[in-house]
């Protein structure tokens, strides 16, 4: 099955300036930037945890498997260069499934000029597993870490939050262009992508930076799907609760010096809104401002691995 599939795939892979040798040998050879710096991320998705093959089209699964990796590269402000795709396919219908996964993945790779430079395609008696490793190139301004936010920096986010389970967790756009545009034109200090929940991921970013964060909960951009989900579930969780905790928003969470943050919010240089939702403070922990401006502890919520 693997050799049939590789024939099918090789017709669909275009030449790429960063790929000196593509699939077919024991390994691929990449020609990266002369700095020799590269950014590498890997995510493994499994049937029953990250998707249900019985409920979702393989195209959306394949697309998501690449998109989560591109979102991680965007979080580092690295330009995606190449990706490697490993599959464990249920034997029954394996070839067709492999093709459909790639039919979802390849258009996204094309859009962001990511070379599919290799992989490993297997069949087995277990459920579908898809593991992608993506390699990116930092811009001249370097990479964006989680650990460089400073007290006084403002908290910025792209897009809106909550209710991603209704569709965005598959169909989100990795914020690659947005990260590159902001990193190029403004001084950013730190960043990550929101995959496990806005409040939980913000608490992690603050902790990695050795500081705390005060969220202005009234400023958090709440997605229409958070409102819809809150109504559907009727479980007492407000749209804001969903925005704070749902996860898989795959938006950028950034720290920028106050003046830069204000410039960004004023300029609105992206196709999606950028919103200021609080600031970093010396006092460790996650906080909100209560009535009268007193700091109140906010319990971080989200998906704990």
Residues of the shown chain interacting with its own copies in the complex, contacts defined by CB under 8 A:
1-3, 20-21, 24-44, 46-49, 72-73, 75-76, 78, 82, 84, 86-88, 117-127, 129, 131, 133, 135-136, 138, 143, 145-147, 192-193, 208, 304-305
Q: Residue 7 or 266: which CB sits closer to its own copies?
A: 7
CB atoms closer than 10 angstroms to residue 292: 5
CB of 206 to its own copies, least distance (A): 14
The label of the residue with tokens 């922990």 reads 285
Nearer to its own copies, 68 or 106 (CB): 68
Kindly state the smallest distance separating residue 303's Cβ from its own copies, in Å. Answer: 11
CB of 292 to its own copies, least distance (A): 36
Q: Which is nearer to its own copies, 33 or 270 (CB)?
A: 33
**Comparison of 45 and 281: residue with beta carbon closer to its own copies:** 45
- As a whole number of angstroms, the distance between CA 243 and CA 220 comes to 8
Q: CB 73 → its own copies: shortest distance, Å?
A: 6
- CA pair distance 191, 197, nearest whole angstrom: 15
What is the Cα 211 distance to its own chain's centre? 23
Specify the DSSP class assigned to residue 172. Answer: P
Instruction: Give the shortest CB-209-to-its own copies separation in angstroms.
Output: 11
Cα 87 to Cα 44, 93, 97, 102, distances in angstroms: 10, 13, 10, 11
CA angle 212, 295, 279 (to 5 degrees): 40
| Minimal distance, residue 95 CB to its own copies, in Å | 12
CB of 32 to its own copies, least distance (A): 4
Angstrom distance (rounded) from CA 303 to CA 198: 10
Complex with its own copies: residue 133 or 230, whichever CB lies closer: 133
CA distance 114 to 30: 12
Structure tokens given for 303:
């998906």
The smaller minimum CB distance to its own copies, of residues 115 and 220, is found at: 115
Q: Give whichever of 123 and 223 is closer to its own copies, judged by the CB atom.
A: 123
As a dihedral over the C-alpha atoms of residue 41, residue 45, residue 50, residue 51, rounded to 10 degrees, the angle is 130
């Amino acid at each position: 099955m693997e050799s049939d599939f590789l024939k099918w795939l090789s017709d669909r892979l275009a030449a790429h300036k960063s790929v000196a040798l593509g699939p077919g040998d024991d390994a691929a050879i990449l020609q990266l930037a002369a700095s020799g710096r590269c950014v590498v991320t890997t995510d493994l998705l499994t049937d029953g945890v990250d998707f249900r093959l019985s409920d979702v089209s393989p195209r959306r699964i394949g697309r998501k498997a690449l998109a989560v990796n591109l979102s991680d590269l965007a979080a580092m402000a690295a330009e995606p260069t190449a990706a490697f795709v490993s599959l464990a396919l249920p034997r029954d219908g394996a070839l067709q499934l492999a093709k459909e996964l790639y039919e979802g993945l390849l258009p996204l790779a094309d859009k962001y000029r990511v070379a599919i430079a290799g992989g490993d395609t297997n069949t087995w008696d277990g459920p579908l597993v898809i593991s992608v490793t993506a390699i990116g190139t930092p811009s001249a301004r370097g990479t964006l870490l989680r650990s460089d936010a400073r007290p006084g920096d403002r908290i910025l986010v792209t897009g809106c939050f909550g209710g991603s389970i209704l569709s965005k967790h598959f169909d989100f756009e990795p914020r690659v262009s947005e990260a590159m545009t902001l990193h190029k034109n403004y001084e950013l200090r730190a960043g990550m992508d929101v995959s496990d929940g806005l409040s939980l991921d913000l608490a992690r970013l603050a902790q990695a930076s050795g500081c705390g964060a005060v969220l202005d909960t009234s400023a958090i951009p709440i997605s229409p799907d958070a409102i819809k989900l809150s109504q559907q579930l009727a479980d007492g969780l407000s749209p804001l609760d969903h925005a704070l905790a749902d996860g898989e928003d795959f938006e950028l969470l950034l720290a920028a010096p106050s003046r830069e943050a204000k410039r960004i919010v004023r300029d609105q240089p992206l196709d999606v809104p950028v919103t200021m939702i609080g600031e970093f403070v010396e006092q460790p922990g996650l906080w909100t401002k209560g009535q009268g401006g007193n700091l109140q502890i906010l319990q971080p919520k989200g998906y704990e691995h």
